[in-house]
Structure 1
Amino acid sequence: MSPLRQHVIDKMTLQGFTKSTCRAYLYQLTELARYFHRSPDELTERDLQAYVLYLIRERAWSRSSCRQAVHAIHFLFNKVLGRPLNYLQLPYQKKDQKIPDLLYPDEVHSIIQHCTHLKQQSAIALSYATGMRIGEICALRIDDLDGPHNRIKVRQGKGNKDRYVLFPEGVKRQLRCYWQRYRPVDVLFYGLDKHRTYDPKYLRLEVKDAAKRAGISKTVRFHSPRHAFATHQLMAGMPLTRLQLLLGHRQLSTTLVYLQWIAMMEPCQKVSEDLLGPAWCVS
């Protein structure tokens, strides 16, 4: 590891960056060095501006990806090298307003039913029943499950915030099936080592494959059950402010987007309080 890379890592640690932010910034700086074939601390501001234009024109990166690259570069020069940048610009193109493919309750149920592995099936069911993010699910520990009080504690979710989410009966039944087979001792969803968290890439792959097996042509990602949870709960009458707390949104405006989304959906069957119903345990 180069001294500069280690310095960047040390500075991010002292700044309290999350692991995901550290990985993202290191990736961006590695891409920068690979493009110029030299260390980023040797680059001029003109070089950096040319690189941003390259990302936009040649690699067709999205606005958010380009913004992340610029933030990583600013962090390197402002905080690590002590050479503040004055002229590096990111074009203020209009932010894309995209609505993901929204899933109806029967489509989510079909995806869960078509999972081939109980571990991934239980994680996907948990995402739909609680609205948790993939990183939050992989970080869950047994002690976070509070069955008697029907809640799950999310520790250090996005923004390093703790919160509680719902723990409905349907997902309790699902997790009982899971526990009987895998017998977790610390981490709820583990990989080869029972004390190490499960690699989220397997969850991302499984939800896409299960959607294909279910015959769903929509674009489905692991975040789709979380979107489905939010839209279905709103359609069932959940107050917007309560949904904001369950999703872990800092701003109510972020949760308000779901109100626009449900206007795009056709009326569907009534969403019950227990979103999962019976457990689907893969044999």
Structure 2
Amino acid sequence: MGIEIKKGEEKEIIVEFDYTPERVEKIKLIYGRQWHPEEKFWTIPYTKDAVNKLLDIFANEEIVIDSSLNIEVNQTEKQLEKLWMRSFLQEVKDEIKLQNYSSKTCDVYLGHIRRYVEYHAKKPKELKENDVREYLLLLLEKQERSSGYTNQALSAIKFLYNEVLEKERVTVNIPRPKKGRKLPNVLSEEEVAEILSVLKNYKHRAILNLVYSAGLRVSEVVSLKVEDIDSERMLIRVKQGKGKKDRYTLLSEVALKELRRYSKKYRIEEGWLFPGGKEGTYLTERSVQRVFKKACRKAGIKKEVGIHSLRHSFATHLLEKGTDLRYIQKLLGHKNLKTTERYTHVSKKNIEDIKSPLDYLD
């Protein structure tokens, strides 16, 4: 349901819409608005200022106006721009879905494309290669964005021209910003043990034990189903991980024990392993991230780490215990071995056997 505008009592009009916090915040910007809880609708003064304000704040939504009202539907230039942007982004979104990209990539690309178009304030077809270069320089120099962020923006812009507008020549000659090598943040075994030990909630314990013991991404652990846990073969099946690939990874005996305690207490027998608040949904990634951050604070961890650090730690600790790098690559689901090789730079293996030259000066 969009925004419906109907005739009300004298000198007022009725505004109806399905509830969202954003819509409520918007209508509260109109002076003289009033909520009618019994009828479940809003009213605003039937004045030129109030009506124009209403049309402006909801310009990016579908508005249905009662024909008996004397309201001009001629949109202002700003309103038309909002409507155009909405239609344009929907076209991009449809193409991304047709290309079978993940929902996360869809959100990222839409954000970059919207910012790129809004910066130049022109239609994409009017923009040339120099405009793309100017935008990338803005990200790198003025906004001081990382090379990774800028590369992501370039990928989104290339998708826009190559797949949506079919103007490949616009961006094909633009070199990608060189990506700096950043080493992952890794927790020691003692720090991981401390984090896991402070967890009292069965669900939280099961989740973080799984992430560390199997090297899972947070998006992978929240979308696990009961059927993905193979306790006979002691494996976890990760369906449609990054790159939409299936893989198997380790099922730890300790993690399985925590899972059984959790599933018994919460009566989890089928469907999502970690259900969300609404029926048919699973736990959000943000919820797991908050659990991890809270556990770190409670455990006294001072390092700048996130939930993904447990995955980094899984790989590093396996490497330090002599596991072949190619096995670790498969467990993590890395396409390229070079991605896995970065853990050799943070591993203590071999380095701890080297003696500092300072120790020879005695």
- Fold match by TM threshold 0.5: yes
Q: After superposition, what is the alpha-carbon deviation per residue over 1:117-157, rounded to whole angstroms, capped at 9, x for unaligned?
A: 43233211101100011111111001111111101111011
Q: After superposition, what is the alpha-carbon deviation per residue over 1:243-282, rounded to whole angstroms, capped at 9, x for unaligned?
A: 1111111122222221222148975xxxxxxxxxxxxxxx
Determine if the alignment matches structure 1 residue 122 to structure 2 residue 206.
yes
Aligned to 1:147: 231
Deviating more after overlay: 1-10 vs 222-231: 1-10
Residue 66 of structure 1 is aligned with which of 130, 150, 169? 150
Aligned to 2:301: 216
Distance in 2 (CA, whole Å) between partners of 1:170 and 1:126 is 9
Distance in 2 (CA, whole Å) between partners of 1:67 and 1:226 is 24
Aligned to 1:104: 188
Residue 188 of structure 1 is aligned with which of 248, 268, 273? 273
Aligned to 2:134: 50
Partner of 2:239: helix, strand, or coil? Answer: strand
Q: 1:202 to 1:259 in 2, by over 3 A?
A: same
Q: 1:177 to 1:39 in 2, by over 3 A?
A: farther
Within-5 A mapping of 1:68-87 = 68-86=152-170
Q: After superposition, what is the alpha-carbon deviation per residue over 1:98-129, rounded to whole angstroms, capped at 9, x for unaligned?
A: 22332111100111222354323321110110
Gaps of 5+ in 1: 268-283
Deviating more after overlay: 156-165 vs 205-214: 205-214
Q: 1:111 to 1:9 in 2, by over 3 A?
A: same
Q: 1:112 to 1:34 in 2, by over 3 A?
A: farther
Q: 1:92 to 1:67 in 2, by over 3 A?
A: closer
Q: After superposition, what is the alpha-carbon deviation per residue over 1:65-112, rounded to whole angstroms, capped at 9, x for unaligned?
A: 101111111111121012224357766554322223321111001112
Aligned to 1:277: none
User: How far apart are residue 14 of structure 1 and its match?
Assistant: 1.8
Aligned to 2:31: none
Partner of 1:96: helix, strand, or coil? Answer: coil
Residue 133 of structure 1 is aligned with which of 205, 213, 217? 217
Q: After superposition, what is the alpha-carbon deviation per residue over 1:25-54, rounded to whole angstroms, capped at 9, x for unaligned?
A: 011112223434555445444333222211
User: How far apart are residue 23 of structure 1 and its match?
Assistant: 1.3
Q: After superposition, what is the alpha-carbon deviation per residue over 1:159-188, rounded to whole angstroms, capped at 9, x for unaligned?
A: 111111111110011111211232233111
Q: 1:102 to 1:41 in 2, by over 3 A?
A: same
User: How far apart are residue 12 of structure 1 and its match?
Assistant: 1.3
Aligned to 2:258: 174
2:132/2:171 contact within 8 Å kept: no
Partner of 2:311: helix, strand, or coil? Answer: helix
Residue 109 of structure 2 is aligned with which of 19, 25, 39? 25
Distance in 1 (CA, whole Å) between partners of 2:168 and 2:331 is 39
1:29/1:40 contact within 8 Å kept: no
Q: 1:44 to 1:86 in 2, by over 3 A?
A: closer
Distance in 1 (CA, whole Å) between partners of 2:109 and 2:191 is 36
Residue 260 of structure 1 is aligned with which of 319, 342, 345? 345
Q: Which amino acid is 2:311 matched to?
A: R
2:183/2:345 contact within 8 Å kept: no
Partner of 2:168: helix, strand, or coil? Answer: coil
Aligned to 1:270: none
Structure index of larger Rg: 2
Partner of 2:240: helix, strand, or coil? Answer: strand
Partner of 1:161: helix, strand, or coil? Answer: coil
Counting matched residue pairs gives 268
Q: 1:66 to 1:132 in 2, by over 3 A?
A: same
User: How far apart are residue 219 of structure 1 and its match?
Assistant: 1.2
* Structure 1 vs Structure 2 CA RMSD: 2.3
1:191/1:198 contact within 8 Å kept: yes
Q: 1:95 to 1:5 in 2, by over 3 A?
A: closer
1:32/1:51 contact within 8 Å kept: yes
1:187/1:194 contact within 8 Å kept: no
Q: What's the TM-score once normalised by structure 2's chain length?
A: 0.68
Distance in 1 (CA, whole Å) between partners of 2:196 and 2:114 is 38
Q: After superposition, what is the alpha-carbon deviation per residue over 1:212-231, rounded to whole angstroms, capped at 9, x for unaligned?
A: 21111111111111111111
Gaps of 5+ in 2: 1-84, 353-362
